[in-house]
Amino acid sequence: MPDIISAIKLLEDMGLLIREPRILSWRFEAAKAIEKADSLGKAIIFRSNCCDGIDIVSNLIPSREILKNYLGVKSDEELYLKLTNAMDNPARCSEESFGDHYIEDNRSLEELPALHFYEGDAGRYFTSSIFIARDPDQEIYNASIHRILIKGRMTGAARIVPRHLRKIIDAYRSRNKETPIAVCFSPHPVVFLGAALQPRYGVFEMEVANKLLSGSLRLCRTPIHNLPVPCECSHVLEGRVTLEDVEEGPFADALLTYDSIRMEPLIVFDKIYRSKVDRPFHTVLAGRTEHVLLMGIGKEADIYYSVSRVVRRVYKVRLTRASGGWLHALISIEKSVDGDSKNAILAAFAAHPSLKIVTVVDGDIDIDNPEEVEWAIATRLQASRGIVIIKEARLSSLDPSARNGIGDKLGIDATVPIGERHRYRRARIPDTK
């Protein structure tokens, strides 16, 4: 079974790993080193003064190409197909004994690798926490990623967005019960990606990850709550989401703006376990490549297939890094009729309701090049016929311009009118050899 160690070895063999020799401070210095590694397109492994004897690794997905490498695909279309197929056809995991893989750890939360990343953050955060919980009424499990703010030796506050885990917590709270949870850290990056995807309720994300890994993911049941966790993590925590809410935030999120202070569930942890194999502890720096790719790649697949149903061909889809991999979609298409580009805009909004802006261009525009996208807008857009505004729609909670989650969506049609391509031909200098 591939694990985080095999992923690190792959990156090191490719010359994409920095081994930092210094002990870095958990307050800003570690985050600054991760940021620098990200700017170089590399992962980094280091130690910090917050947690003696534990290696910390970040930026395990330093590029889209590395993500494709992990998944064994070559093209974006193969990538989207593989993700969608895994969500539609998850594979059950084999199970092993928890005691064969983990032992109790007498550390507290405060002695694990939680970092203070940005100056305005509320404190030390875990940013790679995979929560696993079970529906109280059905044999349904959910895995999802949520940040944890340390509140005490064995307590934390987690940002729980209104998706599947929140649904499970609300179901327990409606019975005046605490929610049993397991929180695991540092599996293979493909397992982490599986937890970041959003299949329909009832599909267990670890089984999605197992499909992506061709059936090689193994799970084991935690001693207290009998929850299934991957066998190849660095640490596993067992605890309870209590009935109490406490302040969580501010925290710099994917947009590199500060998420506001909210009342979020208080979690009490009862046990901490560590792997019998010495594995590095994974952390994610918000707003950088690893975070943006994990946030957006599943939604890119949704947009790709949604738009493909209404136009002749979709060349590329990108959720832009500047928008946190979440708010702005660039799409290059081939049109049959002029109305196709407007349909593409509407199909993208339908596929990803958090989208704020959709920009559609022709297939001759490389949407990985911002200058080409700007050129298309500058030369091919006429605002009176190419701008679509949807007023008072639901927006993402990440968008600071939204008011109570409501605002306007913008569609930009920067495509050439059918039959007029000769007027928009880009000048080029021919080869002379």
State how far the Cα of 223 lies from the Cα of 200, in Å rounded to an integer.
Answer: 28
State how far the Cα of 328 lies from the Cα of 184, in Å rounded to an integer.
Answer: 31
Tokens (6 digits) for 227: 């929850």
- Hey, what amino acid is at 159? R
Measured between alpha carbons, how far is residue 133 from residues 181, 241, 266, 375 in Å?
A: 5, 10, 15, 48
Helices (H), 149-188: 164-173
Tokens (6 digits) for 164: 């599947």
Torsion angles phi and psi, residue 287, rounded to 5: 80, 0
CA dihedral sign, ordered 111, 252, 283, 228 = positive
Helices (H), 138-219: 164-173, 189-196, 205-212
Torsion angles phi and psi, residue 341, rounded to 5: -65, -35
Name the residue among 287, 283, 5 with its Cα closest to residue 128.
Answer: 283
For residue 329, the cross-strand partners are 319, 358
Within 13 A of 410's CA, how many CA atoms are on the CB side?
9
- Residue 314, helix vs strand vs coil: strand
101 and 229 in contact (C-beta within 8 Å)?
no
362 and 332 in contact (C-beta within 8 Å)?
yes
- Give the containing element (helix H, strand E) for 67: helix 64-71
* Residue among 3, 38, 121, 253 flagged as catalytic: 253
Tokens (6 digits) for 331: 């799409």
Q: Catalytic site residue 408?
A: no
- Active site members: 253
